A = this chain, B = another copy of it.
Amino acid sequence: MAKSNSKVSETVIRRLPKYHRYLSELLEKNVDRISSQELSGLTGFTASQIRQDLNNFGGFGQQGYGYNVEALRGQIDKILGIDRIYKTIIVGAGRLGSVISMYGGFKESGFDIIALFDKDKDKVGTNVGDIPIYHFDMIEDYIKKYNVEVGIITVPKTGAQSIADIFVKSGIKGIWNFAPTDLIVPEDVVVESVRLNDSLLTLSYYLTEE
């Protein structure tokens, strides 16, 4: 969720991960430089939109040369904050929590998942991969002790707000929310929600429209 004091529009910000993704693929293919026209062909954004987007962060292109792929990716990484590591915990050690904790890609993006929490006594004390599962009662102490910065919520809708409240109270600054509900948090806490059901309903809409 965008914070109101953000200077760059949320629409532009949401395009940055896509630039990141395509530039990473170009780097893998050893491409050195790329024009906004070529980037347009890849991303589906118009060339002028691309130039405008990147100007927002201090235009890195050069007339007649295009963009240096590695430099541009480095700049976007910096803007996205990928160049640092966030200590991260997951609350809810069910199937979804386990999938997320096992997926290595999130660590590459800077989110290091160091613990899971659940209230199910059969799960507490076990591991998912090499990540330990602790009891709900430990969340607050753990966050403070290890300076956890990001919390992921994979509990059902009804429990989500109370987990968010514990996060906020304990000093967490960013929440990745998978529960299908809108969380209420103070202005200085960032919530990014993944709404799988909303996404599916959008698919349903376009299928119906045929």
Contact surface of A with B, Cβ cutoff 8 Å: 2-3, 6, 13-14, 16-18, 20-21, 44, 79-82, 84, 86, 95-96, 98-99, 102-103, 105-106, 109-111, 149-150, 173-174, 176, 180, 182, 188, 190, 192, 194-210
Contacts and interface: CB of A to CB of B under 8 A. Distances in A.
Contact of A200 (B2, B44, B192, B204): B192
A15 B192 CA distance: 16
B207 A13 contact: no
Q: Dominant SS at the A interface?
A: helix
Contacts of A204: 80-82, 86, 109-111
A44 B98 CA distance: 32
What's the number of copies of this chain in the assembled complex? Answer: 2
A190 B202 CA distance: 10
B2 A206 contact: yes
Given A180-B21, A205-B79, A200 B109 contact: yes
A11 B131 CA distance: 39
A12 to B, nearest CB: 10
A47 to B, nearest CB: 18
A75 to B, nearest CB: 13
